[in-house]
């Protein structure tokens, strides 16, 4: 007779890739001309051509994995529009619009909302300050929501009302990790009914109460080190098997392999100068 202890071991069963549809914005007018996060240094010139080449590699990786990528055109006056994750949050055909914390990005909200309206979504106009999927991440049945720097706690109630989902608020405390998607990634976008998805996060990016919530809800989580998080390693996109990450986050890459994922490294060094990585450039469309 053999007794198998499954309770203690993290899940390592075969991972399955799920087809995804993303929205991206080609960085035709990318630059850093103001400073709204600690990564941005407007006095150092940027290389738009390099940003374009790096972005193009990310785009090709998604297409190569069989995902659909739709595009929104960048407004020449809005350099941060390339971070499409902030354009809103979509679920079940509804797009909850973004309402930016900083005046420099305010005009992006209506542009993204118009795009959603023209591409099959019913748009729920936000009254509360929120920066879309930068701070809202779907984790199985629930939505994880970051606040502390950009999106407000009030936006969490609004999002819950719009989507009908439970929204779990998490407080961010480190200015380098000012959006939830810089500190936490959901690795199984569609976990089995009733089971919690695997997530990875940087514990130090959250206050104590939020860390306790994460530990309780996601006991299997991958805890990522500061050395990987500083390359925005957690600013990643997973289809359940393939995880597109910053190439320099080598520790996280090894952790992912250990858990049965297929990490794919890309170099977005130029876009990192605006404070964004893989996930910031990518918004998931759930129609």
> Which residues contribute to the site for ligand ARG (CB under 6 A)?
36-37, 40, 80, 83, 85-86, 105, 134, 179, 181-182, 274-276, 280
* 111 phi/psi in degrees, rounded to 5: -65, -45
Interatomic CA distance for residues 266 and 60, integer angstroms: 11
> Taking the complex as a whole, how short is the minimal distance between the CB of residue 40 and ligand ARG, in angstroms?
6
| Sequence-distant (≥ 6) Cβ neighbours of residue 253 within 8 angstroms | 245, 263, 265
> Taking the complex as a whole, how short is the minimal distance between the CB of residue 246 and ligand ARG, in angstroms?
13
Catalytic residue flag (residue 67) = no
- When the beta carbons of 101 and 167 are compared against ligand ARG, the nearer one is 101
Q: Is 150 exposed, middle or buried (CB count within 10 Å of its CB: 0-12, 13-18, 19+)?
A: buried
Catalytic residue flag (residue 280) = yes
- When the beta carbons of 15 and 233 are compared against ligand ARG, the nearer one is 233
Residue 98, token pair as written in the block: 């973004």
> Taking the complex as a whole, how short is the minimal distance between the CB of residue 273 and ligand ARG, in angstroms?
9
| Sequence-distant (≥ 6) Cβ neighbours of residue 131 within 8 angstroms | 86, 98, 100, 101, 150, 151, 179
- When the beta carbons of 189 and 259 are compared against ligand ARG, the nearer one is 189
> Taking the complex as a whole, how short is the minimal distance between the CB of residue 36 and ligand ARG, in angstroms?
5
- When the beta carbons of 137 and 256 are compared against ligand ARG, the nearer one is 137
Query: Could you say which of 25, 67, 179, 281 is catalytic?
Result: 179
Element counts in the chain: helices (H) and strands (E): 7, 15
Query: Could you say which of 29, 67, 102, 280 is catalytic?
Result: 280
**CA nearest to 276, candidates 239, 246, 242:** 246
Residue 92, token pair as written in the block: 């079940």
Catalytic positions: 179, 280
């Amino acid at each position: 007779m053999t007794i198998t202890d499954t309770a203690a071991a993290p899940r390592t069963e075969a991972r399955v890739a799920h087809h995804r549809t993303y929205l991206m914005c080609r960085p035709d007018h990318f630059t850093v001309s103001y400073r709204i996060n600690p990564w941005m240094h407007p006095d150092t010139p940027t290389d738009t051509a390099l940003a374009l080449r790096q972005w193009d590699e990310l785009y090709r990786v998604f297409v190569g994995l069989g995902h659909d990528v739709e595009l929104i055109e960048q407004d020449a006056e809005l350099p941060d529009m390339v971070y499409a994750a902030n354009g809103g949050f979509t679920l079940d055909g509804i797009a909850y619009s973004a309402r930016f914390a900083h005046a420099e990005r305010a005009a992006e909200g209506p542009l993204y909302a118009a795009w959603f309206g023209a591409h099959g979504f019913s748009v729920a106009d936000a009254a509360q300050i929120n920066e879309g999927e930068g701070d809202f991440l779907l984790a199985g049945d629930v939505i994880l929501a970051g606040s502390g720097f950009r999106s407000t706690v009030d936006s969490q109630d609004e999002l819950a009302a719009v989507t009908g989902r439970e929204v779990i608020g998490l407080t961010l405390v480190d200015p380098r990790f000012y959006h939830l998607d810089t500190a936490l990634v959901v690795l199984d976008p569609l976990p089995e009914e009733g089971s919690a998805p695997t997530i990875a996060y940087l514990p130090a990016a959250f206050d104590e109460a939020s860390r306790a919530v994460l530990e309780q809800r996601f006991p299997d989580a991958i805890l990522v080190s500061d050395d990987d998080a500083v390359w925005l390693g957690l600013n990643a996109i997973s289809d359940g098997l393939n995880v597109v990450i910053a190439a320099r986050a080598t520790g996280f890459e090894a952790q992912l392999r250990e858990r049965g994922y297929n990490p794919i490294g890309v170099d977005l060094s130029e876009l990192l100068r605006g404070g964004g990585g893989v996930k910031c450039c990518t918004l998931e469309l759930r129609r």
